[in-house]
């Protein structure tokens, strides 16, 4: 079997090539610009992947912003004033060490080649034995030009993280929303990094999505809020349905900490290629607000209304990758099973609230379409629904299992007489006979029970 059981976290997980192929075949996600041979580090989400990501984003937004009185959501521009990235330190030091092979001209991350085989002759030598240049720093920011005058435009950057605009907007948002410390500002959106070696499917991409929360507090409360957010963020991941054995936290050692960071903890997921970060929780101190105050000349400190103490707020950050979490969900969901009678099935065991298709409506015959239309229209208002009338019913169930649809509703030849349909459950494959008027309620209750 190529999947592990829940009690067997160290064992082999789904082979990446199987997952990559399922994702392309079923339209979860695939290389961007495929018809031109693809572009390295960029990915397109198809109909199912777009739904999965949408549901993931919505859950994050509900958990982080809408469900709380002390967090405000924003949606900032991708391009910020270039001084932003000088203040944040990105222009100077958002770099990875890079080496070139003088023979094959390939580029490598200097800190990721230890023990790696040469891609040109993997059986013969290691990359470290190739004719490499000295390591030099490569800035990961993608640049663009802003302004209509050709050649004279201003160089700008596609944001390498979504949090800096939050610091730019700190004062405006605090005043507009009449928030007092402690409070947070959050946003979800695209970020861009010109990664030297994009790899492991979407895990390391050049364009990706981050969901970030910057939570501002008094200096005396920073440790307390760090611990609080670490607990909350682990709760978020558990509620996505990840197996407990697939998640862990890992504190950063002193040598890994960014110079402005007092404390950092990664939340890691067990991918087929090992434990890897999906989220970072960071105590950024007052670095960002202080630097933006200095570079913009606008004082971003706050004054406590009661004590009149003036101070620069401290910031606790939660930064999660939407694409990395979606990849973790795909890995975690993938199961191969042998059924009674020897049939094999691939089933994506997504949390029902995240499954791209919540309900499939399957009339036993094409001729039943006119009868089924009313139920289809009703269910489409409330659930993501797929209508499938092609092929034998067993094959249709397999197709739905493979994309992780938690419930299939089958309209058969008896439905006209008893006014009942069959609801089939993805995981147990149990079937219930449910009156047509009760189907919507039945599915709503099942979805709520699973959340
Ligand atoms: P890594 O060490 O893996 O490059 P990082 O420590 O640079 O990650 P952060 O800057 O803390 O990552 O970004 C926060 C989150 O954004 C990460 O936990 C990850 O989920 C996501 N992320 C960062 N870089 C990428 C990327 N190139 N592709 C996809 N997601 C990314």
Q: What is the CATH number of the domain that holds 386?
A: 3.40.50.800
Domain that holds residue 115: 95-139
How confident is the model at residue 235, as a pLDDT? 97
**Which of 290, 313, 330 is the C-terminal boundary of a domain?**
330
Using most ligand atoms within 8 A of CB, pick from 140, 213, 319, 330 the residue to mutate for ligand 1. Answer: 319
Using most ligand atoms within 8 A of CB, pick from 321, 322, 330 the residue to mutate for ligand 1. Answer: 321
Pair 325, 420 in one domain: no
Pair 135, 185 in one domain: no
Ligand 1 lining (C-beta closer than 6 Å): 161, 193, 195, 204-205, 208, 210, 277-280, 319-321, 323-324
Pair 131, 208 in one domain: no
Count how many domains the chain has.
3
**Ligand 1 mean position, distance from CA 429 (Å):** 38
Using most ligand atoms within 8 A of CB, pick from 90, 208, 281 the residue to mutate for ligand 1. Answer: 208
- Report the percent of the chain where pLDDT is more than 70: 96
> Whose C-alpha lies nearest to ligand 1, atom 16?
321
In a domain, 283, yes or no: yes
**Ligand 1 mean position, distance from CA 106 (Å):** 23
**Ligand 1 mean position, distance from CA 415 (Å):** 51
Residue 217 CB contacts under 8 Å (≥ 6 apart), including other chains: 181, 182, 225, 313, 314, 315, 316
Q: Is pLDDT above 50 for 6?
A: no
Global pTM?
0.93
**Ligand 1 mean position, distance from CA 203 (Å):** 9
DSSP characters over 60-124: HHIIIIIT-SSEEE----SB--THHHHHTTHHHH-EEEEEEBTTT--EEEGGG-TTPBPSSSTTT
How far lies 43's CA from each of 32, 38, 149, 291, 324, in Å? Answer: 5, 9, 32, 34, 12
> Whose C-alpha lies nearest to ligand 1, atom 23?
321
**Which of 139, 174, 200 is the C-terminal boundary of a domain?**
139
> Whose C-alpha lies nearest to ligand 1, atom 12?
280
In a domain, 59, yes or no: yes
**Ligand 1 mean position, distance from CA 141 (Å):** 13
Query: Mean pLDDT throughout 76-83?
Result: 97
Q: Does the bond joining 182 to the residue before it have cis omega, within 30 degrees of 0?
A: yes
In a domain, 3, yes or no: no
**Ligand 1 mean position, distance from CA 321 (Å):** 6
Pair 173, 27 in one domain: yes
**Ligand 1 mean position, distance from CA 356 (Å):** 24
**Ligand 1 mean position, distance from CA 278 (Å):** 7
Give CA–CA dist 289/219, Å, rounded. 13
How confident is the model at residue 4, as a pLDDT? 31
Give the range with max mean pLDDT: 90-99, 127-136, 349-358: 349-358
Pair 168, 296 in one domain: yes
Summarised one tens digit per residue, pLDDT across range 195-241 is 999 999 999 999 999 999 999 999 999 999 999 999 999 999 999 99
Pair 433, 313 in one domain: no
Summarised one tens digit per residue, pLDDT across range 369-410 is 999 999 999 999 999 999 999 999 999 999 999 999 999 999
Pair 193, 262 in one domain: yes
Quote the tokens at residue 276. Answer: 């890897």
In a domain, 180, yes or no: yes
Pair 269, 415 in one domain: no
**Ligand 1 mean position, distance from CA 258 (Å):** 14
Q: Which of 429, 333, 250 is nearest to 4 (CA)?
A: 333
In a domain, 237, yes or no: yes
Q: Are 29 and 49 in contact (CB under 8 A)?
A: yes
Summarised one tens digit per residue, pLDDT across range 163-182 is 999 999 999 999 999 999 99
The backbone torsions φ and ψ at residue 430, rounded to the nearest 5 degrees and listed phi first, read -65, 150
Provide the pLDDT confidence category of residue 152 given band limits of 50, 70 and 90: low
Using most ligand atoms within 8 A of CB, pick from 280, 282, 283, 322 the residue to mutate for ligand 1. Answer: 280
Pair 216, 160 in one domain: yes
Which atom of ligand 1 is the closest one to the Cα of 266? 18
In a domain, 394, yes or no: yes
Pair 300, 395 in one domain: no
In a domain, 340, yes or no: no
Pair 388, 245 in one domain: no
Quote the tokens at residue 334. Answer: 């993938």
CATH code, domain with 209: 3.30.930.10
In a domain, 341, yes or no: no
Pair 322, 378 in one domain: no
Q: Is the dihedral of CA 279, 282, 286, 292 positive or negative?
A: negative
């Amino acid at each position: 079997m190529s999947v592990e059981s829940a009690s067997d976290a160290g064992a082999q997980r789904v082979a990446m090539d199987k997952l990559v192929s399922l994702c392309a075949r079923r339209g979860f996600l695939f290389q961007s610009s495929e018809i031109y041979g693809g572009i390295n580090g960029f990915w397109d989400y198809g109909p199912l992947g777009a739904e999965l990501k949408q549901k993931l984003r919505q859950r994050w937004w509900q958990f982080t912003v809408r469900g709380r009185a002390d967090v405000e959501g924003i949606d900032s521009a991708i391009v910020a004033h270039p001084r932003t990235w000088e203040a944040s330190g990105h222009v100077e030091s958002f770099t990875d060490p890079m080496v070139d092979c003088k023979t094959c001209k390939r580029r490598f991350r200097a800190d990721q080649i230890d023990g790696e085989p040469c891609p040109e002759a993997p059986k013969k030598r290691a990359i470290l034995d190739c004719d490499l240049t000295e390591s030099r720093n490569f800035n990961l920011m993608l640049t663009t030009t802003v302004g209509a005058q050709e050649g004279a435009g201003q160089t700008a950057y596609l944001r390498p993280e979504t949090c800096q605009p939050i610091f730019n907007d700190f004062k405006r948002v605090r005043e507009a929303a009449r928030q007092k410390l402690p409070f947070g500002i959050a946003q979800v959106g695209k970020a861009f990094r010109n990664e030297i070696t994009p790899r492991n499917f979407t895990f390391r991409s050049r364009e990706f999505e981050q969901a970030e929360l910057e939570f501002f507090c008094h200096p005396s409360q920073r440790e307390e809020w760090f611990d609080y957010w670490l607990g909350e963020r682990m709760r978020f991941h558990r509620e996505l349905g990840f197996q407990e054995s697939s998640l862990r936290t890992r504190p950063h050692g002193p040598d890994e900490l960014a110079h402005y960071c007092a404390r950092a903890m990664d939340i890691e997921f067990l991918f087929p290629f090992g434990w890897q970060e999906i989220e970072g929780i960071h105590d950024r101190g007052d670095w960002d607000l202080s630097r933006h105050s200095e570079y913009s000349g606008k004082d971003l400190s706050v004054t406590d209304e009661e004590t009149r103490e003036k101070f620069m707020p401290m910031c606790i950050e939660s930064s999660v990758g939407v694409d990395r979490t979606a990849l973790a969900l795909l890995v975690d969901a993938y199961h191969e099973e042998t059924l009674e009678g020897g049939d094999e099935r691939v089933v994506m065991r997504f949390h029902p609230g995240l499954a791209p298709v919540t309900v499939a409506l399957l009339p036993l015959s094409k001729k039943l379409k006119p009868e089924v239309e009313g139920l289809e229209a009703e269910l489409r208002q409330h659930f993501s629904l797929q209508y499938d009338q092609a092929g034998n019913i067993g094959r249709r169930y397999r197709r739905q299992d493979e994309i992780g649809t938690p419930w299939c509703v089958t309209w058969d030849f008896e439905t006209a007489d008893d006014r009942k349909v069959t609801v089939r459950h993805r995981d147990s494959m149990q079937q219930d006979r449910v009156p047509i008027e009760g189907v919507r309620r039945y599915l709503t209750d099942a979805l709520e029970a699973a959340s």
